[in-house]
Amino acid sequence: MIEFVQNYPNMFVLTAGLVGLVAGSFLNVVIYRLPVMMENEWRRECESFLESEETAEATASFNLMVPRSRCPNCNHPIAAYENIPVLSYVILGGKCSACKNQISVRYPVVEFACGLISVAVALHFGFSAAGVSALILSWALVVLALIDFDTQLLPDSITLPLLWAGIVVNYNGTFVTLEESILGAIFGYLSLWIVFWGFKLATGKDGMGYGDFKLLAVLGAWLGWHILPLVILLSSVVGAAIGISMMVFASHDKTKPIPFGPYLAISGWIAMLWGDEIMQRYMIGSGAL
């Protein structure tokens, strides 16, 4: 199978796209359930600390696998044929087959986006260790971006394993050298940590969450320390563009904070694919080369 994919590169692109669609369907589950699981865990810890006699029996079996996905309106179990990425949504007309309640369009959008992202990664890296690794990082960034957008949380259960994974992936220089990876993790965390405390000392307010430090450390571990300035610059540009668009077109409440994680995730993905080319073009344009 590996030899076949190597001989026919387009098959890897097609396979990556199809797997990306399926991964997107699972990522929708993670995006919705993981914050609930975290809340349930915090509640159990609080009850344990307070020595409460109450037990969270209703949430004990809630995880990424169980209970089975259901319609939030009528509790209709989602059958396998109703869970085909994108296609099921189109066939069902975007409505539950039982109660005809509208299904959020974000589900097929995430699935389709994951398919496109996977195709882009496959085209850029080809069938290689870098290509497979980049797919995993891309899917993780989608989860982190949307969870942070919804809840302003970047779960340690994703960021910390992803940080170590970046160092392991680069043990043999998949993206950068091991030294660059380790320095990237260190500088990525410290750069935003310094900004956080500088802002806090100056204003007395928190400018960002600790999860943002960890996410930039993740990107540094995967892509190396040299890419961090570009990621920070791109995240500022992306953040400004999306933030202004949300306020103009979506009537976003100006008093409600906008999470920084999605901008870091988008910028990190762009830098992973085209970071070196962007920096090279900048150096040429500025006359440094």
Mean pLDDT by runs of 10 across the 289 residues of the chain is: 70 92 95 91 81 52 80 84 89 88 92 96 93 96 95 94 97 96 96 88 82 95 95 89 74 69 95 90 66
262 shares a domain with 139: yes
Choose one of 93, 108, 126: the last residue of a domain. Answer: 126
> For residue 16, what pLDDT is reported?
93
137 shares a domain with 65: no
Choose one of 126, 151, 168: the last residue of a domain. Answer: 126
> For residue 100, what pLDDT is reported?
87
215 shares a domain with 141: yes
DSSP labels, 214-229: HHHHHHHHHH-GGGHH
252 shares a domain with 159: yes
> For residue 62, what pLDDT is reported?
78
140 shares a domain with 114: no
Total of domains in the chain? 2
For 233, the enclosing helix (H) or strand (E) is helix 228-249
Answer yes or no: are the C-beta atoms of 56 and 68 closer than 8 Å: no
> For residue 56, what pLDDT is reported?
44
139 shares a domain with 100: no
174 shares a domain with 263: yes
Choose one of 126, 148, 163: the last residue of a domain. Answer: 126
For 202, the enclosing helix (H) or strand (E) is helix 178-203
39 shares a domain with 52: yes
Which domain CATH number covers 225?
1.20.120
pLDDT digits (tens, 9 = 90+) for 109-149: 999 999 999 999 999 999 999 999 999 999 999 999 999 99
- C-alpha to C-alpha distance for 247 and 74, rounded to whole angstroms: 34
60 shares a domain with 4: yes
Domain coverage including residue 237: 128-289
Answer yes or no: are the C-beta atoms of 98 and 74 closer than 8 Å: yes
**Other beta carbons within 10 Å of 248:** 9
190 shares a domain with 91: no
Answer yes or no: are the C-beta atoms of 91 and 76 closer than 8 Å: no
112 shares a domain with 152: no
> For residue 57, what pLDDT is reported?
46
Longest dimension (CA), the chain: 70
177 shares a domain with 62: no
> For residue 2, what pLDDT is reported?
66
